[in-house]
Amino acid sequence: MLHHDAPDSAGVLHILTVFPLIPPQLREILMGSNWNIYETHGVRDAELFLHSRQAQVILCHCSLADGSWKDILACISDLPAPPRLIVTSETTDEFLWAEVLNLGGYDVIAQPFWEPEVVRTLNSALRRSTPASSATPS
């Protein structure tokens, strides 16, 4: 299960998933988390969501009916606090990983999902998306 380990002053963390249809395996992994998980099914739905709400992390399939992860990246690039974009693919390769990182995405996760990898990647992205000013001093 996912572990909520962000600073307590950071408030509720939000993860936006963008999949044509969210895989049952991923839904099961995310179900036990302490975070708010929102689900959209395409680029347009994600844009509408992001105009009214904030997400710290977006977990996005590489291809969508109305675009791709690059369209999601373009959508978030103008936001004042852009979420970390994690791309998923059934055919993850070094080219996709390099392209995602070079264009400003956070990481790539292979499908089928392996729970420890999903948990590690989301925890890492969520920690890095929390502004330093909201961290509790030691």
Which CATH number is 83's domain given? 3.40.50.2300
Residue predicted with more confidence, 9 or 44: 44
> Is 3 part of a structural domain of the chain?
no
Q: What predicted TM-score, i.e. pTM, was given to this entire model? A: 0.85
> Is 6 part of a structural domain of the chain?
no
Task: Check whether 131 has a pLDDT greater than 90.
Answer: no
Burial class of residue 47 (count of CB atoms within 10 Å of its CB; 0-12, 13-18, 19+) = middle
Residues 6 or more apart in contact with residue 85 via CB below 8 angstroms: 57, 58, 60, 69, 72, 73, 76, 100, 104, 105, 106
> Is 111 part of a structural domain of the chain?
yes
Cα 76 versus chain centre, distance: 12
pLDDT of residue 33: 80
Number of domains, the chain:
1
Task: Check whether 134 has a pLDDT greater than 90.
Answer: no
Q: Using the structure block, give the residue that is written with the tokens 């009916």.
A: 65
Gap between the Cα atoms of 56 and 51, Å rounded: 14
Of the pLDDT bands very low, low, confident and very high (cuts 50, 70, 90), residue 128 is: confident
Task: Check whether 137 has a pLDDT greater than 60.
Answer: no
Report the pLDDT averaged over residues 76-102.
94
Q: Using the structure block, give the residue that is written with the tokens 């395409």.
A: 42
> Is 99 part of a structural domain of the chain?
yes
Q: What is the pLDDT of residues 41-72, one digit of tens each?
A: 999 999 999 999 999 999 999 999 999 999 99
Provide the residue range defining the domain that includes 58: 12-129
Residue predicted with more confidence, 10 or 48: 48
> Is 25 part of a structural domain of the chain?
yes
